Amino acid sequence: MPVSVALIGADGSGKTTLFNALTRGRGADGVGMVDVPDERLQRLADAVKPKKVVAAQVRIADAPAGSKAQRIGAAREADVVLKVARCFGPEPDPAAELATLEVDLAITDLATVEKRLELVEREVRVGKKAGTEELEVLRRAREHLDAGRPLSELSLEPGQRALLAPLFPVSAKPAVVVANVDEALLPDGGAAAATLGPEAVVVPARLEAELVELDPAEAAEYRSSYGLRAGGLDAVAGAVWRAGGLITYFTAGEPEVRAWPCDRDSPAPVAAGVIHTDFEKHFIRAEVTSVDDLVAAGSMDALRAAGKLRVEGREYRVQDGDVVFFRVGR
Ligand SMILES: Nc1nc2c(ncn2[C@@H]2O[C@H](COP(=O)(O)OP(=O)(O)O)[C@@H](O)[C@H]2O)c(=O)[nH]1
Ligand SMILES: [Mg+2]
């Protein structure tokens, strides 16, 4: 299951340019799959020497051409939205741009919530539904959205939030703000980008789109000449993982060394279910180590033989950087 990310933002903020940079120009029809760079995966692969190395994947969707409603609608399926703000060109005002976007997202969700509210109110009236909690949540959501605020800022219990989930509210989604800056303003991005605060990821999209044409060593040299340490994708992927509440764990066998994205604090059987739904059902236990210990030992088998794999049960929460072997029944 790749993590899905949708680009969203004002016209001309550089979404398509960023899309091309992130997908290395290999996207088709506005969708591209990209491998998430992770130095731990490479270290594991160097130690284990598997037949195959598989990175975690992100599915990136560019904002489609079309109306504002269509562009926003397309983001409703995503796990995380990337809000791209223009910090280049004439009179950039990315903070205002994002504020407008927030209101547009709220308006989109308001329409959905109002429609649902009407339906539920009618069903409660004719006695088809108790629905008092859903009604209360919908009314609170309406009030909040009506004030132009995103649902991500409405404080709800997990159970209440689940009542809104079937509506796919776009303003409730985890979001990453990308400050698309001119390369002349690197590395910090300049005054416009600074108005977005320290959480914004500074990416020179046009430069990055050009750098993906070069071989990696050359691109790295260019990057360092601009004072940039990592590629745009590294920074964006890191921010998507943080915003989306994701961790990465690894499996490391002879046939395949692989990175798996997983919700933070997932119990071991749920984490196993990322590999295969049957793994969740038939989970027996997890054998766990760290990247460093595995790299030192060379294989899971060597660690197992030395009694150095931790054995964890159903309650264990898989951690970022764990290397796991799941024992499953049938
Ligand atoms: N100077 C500069 N121009 C950019 C940058 N990113 C995009 N552009 C330009 O801005 C225009 C709009 O970009 P585009 O990606 O099509 O925006 P979209 O409407 O959000 O998809 C194009 O002419 C790009 O070349 C950037 O980082 N710096
Ligand atoms: Mg575009």
Query: Which atom of ligand 1 is the closest one to the Cα of 181?
Result: 27
Report the CATH superfamily, name and number, of domain 94-172.
Obg-related GTPase Ych/YyaF, coiled-coil domain (1.10.150.300)
* Cα 209 to ligand 1 centre (Å): 10
pLDDT tens sequence across 209-247? 999 899 989 998 988 888 887 777 888 999 999 999 999
Q: Where in the chain is the domain with CATH 3.10.20.30?
A: 265-328
- pLDDT at position 22: 94
pLDDT tens sequence across 133-168? 899 999 999 999 999 999 999 999 999 999 999 999
Q: Where in the chain is the domain with CATH 3.40.50.300?
A: 3-37+56-92+174-242
- pLDDT at position 311: 96
- pLDDT at position 317: 98
- pLDDT at position 138: 96
Task: Encode burial over 186-198: b for 16+ CB neighbours within 10 A, e otherwise.
Answer: beebbebbbbbee
Please tell me whether residue 317 adopts helix, strand or coil conformation.
strand
What values do phi and psi take at 73, rounded to 5? Answer: -55, -35
Whether CATH 2.60.40.730 fits 3-37+56-92+174-242: no
Q: Please name the CATH architecture into which domain 265-328 falls.
A: Roll (3.10)
pLDDT of 309 > 90? The answer is: yes
* Cα 303 to ligand 2 centre (Å): 50
Which residues form ligand 1's pocket by a CB distance below 6 Å? 9, 11-17, 88, 180, 182, 204-206
pLDDT of 129 > 80? The answer is: no
Tokens 């490391």 locate to 252
Ligand at shortest distance from the CA of 64: 2
**Residue 92 exposure: Cα atoms within 13 Å on the Cβ side:** 23
116 against 233, higher pLDDT: 116
pLDDT tens sequence across 237-284? 999 999 999 999 999 999 999 999 999 999 999 999 999 999 999 999
Query: Which atom of ligand 1 is the closest one to the Cα of 7?
Result: 20
